[in-house]
Amino acid sequence: MSMAYSPSEEKDKSGSFKGDVVATLEDGVVANATNAFDQRKGEELKHALLPRHMAMISIGGVIGTGLFLGTASSLHNAGPLGLWLGYLVMGSVPRQQIPPASWANIT
């Protein structure tokens, strides 16, 4: 299916074309179709990111980058087996502290 635009295309202030899209099918049938963007008139993009959202995105980016670079340097220094053993040992410490902490009386 090939798409051709009508010759009287002009952009309005919102950036969409005023002309209709003419779709030419292989079997010789020509159909007029409205532009998909014109069907969404009145639906505007909401810019609703608050400063707290931006702070959380930046904190997540910093932590993610730090974990990525830290893992890369550990992998370079210790190799894959050393990295796996390090995660195993360091993961077992909190694993052993969770059951006693769950029995603690919190009042």
Residue 43 inside a domain? The answer is no
Give the model's confidence band at 52: pLDDT under 50 very low, under 70 low, under 90 confident, else very high: very high
Query: What is the rounded average pLDDT for all residues in the chain?
Result: 74
Residue 25 inside a domain? The answer is yes
CA 13/CA 66 separation, integer angstroms: 44
pLDDT of residue 30: 52
Cα distances (Å, whole numbers) of residue 42 to 37, 49, 71, 86 = 10, 20, 48, 55
Residue 62 inside a domain? The answer is no
Residue 48 inside a domain? The answer is no
Is residue 21 scored above 80 in pLDDT?
no
CA 69/CA 79 separation, integer angstroms: 14
Of 48-52, 79-83, 86-90, the poorest mean pLDDT is in 48-52
Residue 102 inside a domain? The answer is no
Give the model's confidence band at 26: pLDDT under 50 very low, under 70 low, under 90 confident, else very high: low
More confident: 88 or 101: 88
- Kindly state the tokens that stand for 7: 């010759």
pLDDT of residue 28: 57
CA 3/CA 1 separation, integer angstroms: 7
| Structural domain for 27, as ranges | 1-6+16-34
Q: How many domains does the chain have?
A: 1
pLDDT of residue 49: 84
Residue 21 inside a domain? The answer is yes
- Kindly state the tokens that stand for 83: 């990295």
Residue 42 inside a domain? The answer is no
CA 54/CA 104 separation, integer angstroms: 37
Residue 72 inside a domain? The answer is no
